[in-house]
Amino acid sequence: MTNQVAPYGSDEEVSEVVRRFESCEFAPDEFKHRLHLTVALVYLLDSPYPAALERMRRGLGRFVEHHGLSGVYHETLTVFWMRRVLAFAEQADRARGLAELANELSDACADPRLASDYYSKKRLESDKARAYWLDSDLKPLDF
């Protein structure tokens, strides 16, 4: 699966994604997988994993509340993707620009269905998985 959007052209463009997310300027249907990955990357490059994860949780909570959404936050998927982006960030050459890193991450993690390689549909769709981190049930996380 390839990106169907133009790559980021500058570090400022990546920073603007984070700013717009944090100020809830994206419409819910605009804030797709690629933008989630971008925000996660910036948070993980700025902070240790626990702080970045908490920042993402708070940001998603604020976004959901601002837009009056319910039942959309998913803790297991949030942690899964933060851990996947962390694995990418730990291997990334941080001397490269933020836009370059975000584009590479977007290409590497373009398919939002990756979690289904690790989790059964039943487990991912459970109320428990939405509320709490659950370990994968199909195969161990390899990142």
CA–CA separation, 43 and 16 (whole Å)? 13
Residue with tokens 């459970």: 126
pLDDT at 4: 60
Element (H, E) at 72: none
CA–CA separation, 22 and 60 (whole Å)? 9
CA–CA separation, 63 and 29 (whole Å)? 12
CA–CA separation, 57 and 101 (whole Å)? 22
What confidence tens digit (pLDDT) does each residue in 59-83 have? 999 999 999 999 999 999 999 999 9
3-state secondary structure of 117: helix
- Say whether pLDDT at 1 is over 60: no
pLDDT at 141: 97
For the question of whether the overall pTM of this predicted structure is more than 0.85, the answer is yes
Residue with tokens 């570090």: 11
- Mean model confidence pLDDT for the chain: 96
Do the Cβ atoms of 73 and 130 come closer than 8 Å?
yes
pLDDT at 6: 87
- Say whether pLDDT at 3 is over 70: no
What confidence tens digit (pLDDT) does each residue in 77-107 have? 999 999 999 999 999 998 999 999 999 999 9
